[in-house]
């Protein structure tokens, strides 16, 4: 029999992903790619408890709260009963899976609560585990004193710690007390053929993501109001797709822009196929974030061969400067974003094509799986128990 890995996660699509949960999308792609080489069991929340098998891949569900766990906030006492139910159910099912199956290694996605369950199993059964941390683990939960203590214990006892961003990796190392490795969160888009972008205006621009203050959608809309009539002549259309808490603001701003004759179009969340179509359509993808590590849309754009326009936050300056796959704004402001869009209209998007192709090789699901396995093999016994 093949080695058996247990993936414990709070993000795994239960139905055909609509694009609202990008994390779940890349976790499923990672698990499916890993299952090409070994047996993989995924433990994740679902609408009800059940188990589905697809060759080497098994999906085991415990009953979740009926909505994404990311919406549960430890700082809100009203959420505590639901949080405790999730913790009990996830812990119980993780223990059952570890007891019923020979497991060589556990990968926790993410540090909490998945890493906490992995640590429990490791202590009881001696199974090594690794943790893949997200920004919400380190920069949000890590700020809560009691939870930070648990987080530190989970990271310290892990055999390997991964993070999907460079700055996040450094911050995780500080909490863990040992080295953390960069592992990008990448999903697989159904890009059949990379269509070259246009080489002269009018250009097409796009935004795809949550309509949330952290993602800077309001900054982008403010920037668009700063462009002149002459500058808009160089833009065929600007498509904004996604959804979230700023929906009323986005729709109001878009209405004002279209009333002024600006070709700004709105769309909802996109599944992977529709996201690939949007990227094939656009010439530049805009990432106007206020807070960011490395967004999944970054690797999406690489797969589609599309240059990016980005604000200088998180790891984006390092990525843009190192790989030269687009243009970087001077600041996280509407004025700076408007300026870099003006600059983009004077550049040919096709000049970034070779750099995009080189970066694409590093940011792929296959590359992420290979890096993970190369590191894990050094700390995990791969002998399979005889039946």
CATH number of the domain at 277, please.
3.40.50.2000
Please state the φ and ψ torsions of residue 319, each to the nearest 5 degrees. Answer: -65, -45
Q: Answer yes or no: is 43 within a domain.
A: yes
Span 111-161, pLDDT tens digits:
989 999 999 999 999 999 999 998 878 887 777 787 888 999 999 999 999
Asked if residue 387 belongs to a domain, the reply is no
Same domain, 21 and 119: yes
Q: Are residues 176 and 223 in the same domain?
A: no
Do residues 273 and 129 share a domain?
A: no
- pLDDT at position 145 is 80
- Looking at residue 78, its pLDDT comes to 79
Structural domain span for residue 339: 203-362
Q: Is residue 193 part of a domain?
A: no
Say what the pLDDT of residue 213 is. 93
Say if residue 80's pLDDT is above 80: no
- Pair (157, 223) in one structural domain: no
Residues 12 and 127 grouped into a single domain: yes
| CA dist 2 → 98, 99, 159, 359 (Å) | 16, 18, 21, 32
Distances (CA, A) of 140 to 28, 51, 165, 168, 257: 24, 32, 15, 12, 35
Q: Which two tokens stand for residue 302?
A: 């690489």
Based on the domain organization, do 15 and 163 belong to the same domain?
A: yes
42 closest CA partner among 65, 16, 61: 61
pLDDT at 288 over 90: yes
Residues 54 and 120 in one domain: yes
Question: 93 and 113 in contact (C-beta within 8 Å)?
Answer: no
Mean pLDDT of 48-76: 82
pLDDT score at 155: 95
Shared domain check, 156 and 22: yes
CA dihedral 208, 213, 219, 221 (to 10 degrees): 60
Nearest-angstrom CA–CA distance, 315 and 133: 15
| Residues 224 and 348 reside in one and the same domain | yes
Cα–Cα separations (whole angstroms), residue 65 to 21, 70, 104: 16, 11, 30
149-163, 181-195, 223-237: the lowest-pLDDT one:
181-195
Q: Are strands 57-63 and 50-54 parallel, antiparallel or unpaired?
A: antiparallel
> Are 183 and 76 in a shared domain?
yes
In the prediction, which pLDDT does 386 show? 45
Query: What is the torsion angle, in degrees rounded to the nearest 10, for the CA atoms of residue 133, residue 137, residue 139 and residue 145?
Result: -130
Distance CA 185, CA 331 (A): 25
**Three-state DSSP class for residue 306:** coil
Q: Within a domain: residue 370?
A: yes
Do 343 and 370 lie in one domain? The reply is no
Do 127 and 174 fall into the same domain?
yes
Measured CA to CA, the distance from residue 323 to residue 360 in angstroms comes to: 10
207 dihedral zone (left: phi>0; alpha: psi -120 to 50; beta): beta
SS3 content of the chain, % helix, strand, coil (to 5): 45, 20, 35
Asked if residue 277 is part of any domain, the answer here is yes
Res. 20: pLDDT tops 60: no
Is the distance from CB of 282 to CB of 207 less than 8 angstroms? Answer: no
Which of 280, 193, 208, 202 lies closest to 244, judged by CA? 208
Q: 246: which residues sit within 8 A by CB, 6+ positions away?
A: 211, 212, 213, 217, 218
What is the rounded distance in angstroms from the CA atom of residue 210 to the CA atom of residue 220? 13
How large a percentage of the chain has pLDDT more than 90?
Answer: 70
Asked whether 173 and 160 are in contact (CB, 8 A), the reply is no
Give the integer Cα–Cα distance in Å for 159 and 360: 29
pLDDT at residue 93 greater than cutoff 80: yes
Helix (H, G, I), strand (E, B) or coil at 126: coil
Apex 58 CA angle, 54 and 61, nearest 5: 125
Greatest Cα pair distance, the chain, in angstroms, is 74
Residue range 93-116: average pLDDT?
92
237 assigned to some structural domain: yes
Give me the number of domains the chain comprises.
2
Average pLDDT over residues 323-338: 98
Range of lowest pLDDT (24-28, 295-299, 323-327): 24-28
**pLDDT reading at 89 higher than 70:** yes
Give phi and psi for 367, each to the nearest 5. -65, -40
Most confident residue range from 91-100, 106-115, 335-344: 335-344
With respect to residue 386, please indicate whether it lies within any of the assigned structural domains.
no
At 370 the pLDDT is 94
Mean pLDDT of 34-45: 95
User: The tokens of 318 are what?
Assistant: 């390092």
pTM of the full structure:
0.85
Q: How confident is the model at residue 85 (pLDDT cuts 50, 70, 90)?
A: confident
């Amino acid at each position: 029999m093949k080695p058996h890995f247990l993936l414990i996660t709070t993000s795994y699509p239960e139905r055909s992903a609509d694009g609202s949960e990008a994390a779940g999308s890349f976790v499923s792609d990672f698990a499916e790619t890993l299952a090409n080489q070994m047996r993989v069991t995924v433990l994740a929340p679902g609408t009800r408890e059940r188990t589905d098998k697809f060759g080497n891949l098994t999906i085991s569900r415990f009953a979740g709260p009926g909505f994404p766990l990311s919406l549960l906030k430890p700082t809100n006492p009203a959420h505590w009963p639901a949080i405790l139910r999730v913790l009990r159910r996830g812990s119980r099912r993780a223990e059952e899976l570890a007891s019923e199956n020979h497991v060589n290694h556990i990968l926790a996605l993410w540090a909490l609560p998945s890493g906490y369950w992995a640590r429990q199993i490791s202590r009881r059964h001696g199974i090594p585990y690794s943790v893949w941390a997200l920004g919400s683990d380190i920069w949000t939960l890590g700020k809560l004193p009691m939870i930070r203590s648990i987080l530190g214990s989970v990271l310290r006892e892990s055999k390997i710690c991964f993070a999907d961003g460079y700055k996040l990796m450094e911050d995780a190392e500080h909490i863990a007390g040992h080295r953390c490795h960069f592992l990008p969160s990448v999903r697989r888009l159904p890009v059949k053929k990379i269509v070259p972008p246009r080489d002269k205006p009018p250009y097409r621009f796009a935004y795809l993501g949550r309509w949330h203050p952290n993602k800077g959608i309001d900054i982008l809309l403010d920037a668009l109001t700063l462009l002149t009539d002459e500058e808009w002549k160089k833009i065929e259309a600007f498509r904004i797709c996604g959804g979230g808490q700023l929906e009323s603001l986005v729709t109001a701003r878009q209405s004002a822009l279209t009333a002024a004759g600006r070709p700004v179009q709105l769309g909802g969340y996109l599944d992977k196929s529709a996201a690939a179509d949007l990227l094939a359509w656009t010439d530049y993808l805009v990432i106007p974030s206020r807070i960011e590590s490395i967004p999944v849309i970054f690797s999406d754009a690489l797969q589609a061969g599309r240059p990016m326009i980005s604000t200088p936050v998180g790891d984006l300056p390092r990525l843009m400067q190192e790989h030269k796959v687009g243009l970087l704004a001077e600041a996280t402001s509407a004025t700076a974003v408007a300026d870099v869009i003006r600059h983009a209209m004077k550049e040919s998007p096709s000049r970034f094509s070779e750099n995009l192709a080189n970066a694409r090789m590093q940011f792929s699901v296959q590359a992420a799986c290979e890096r993970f396995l190369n590191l894990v093999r050094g700390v995990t016994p791969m002998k399979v128990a005889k039946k």
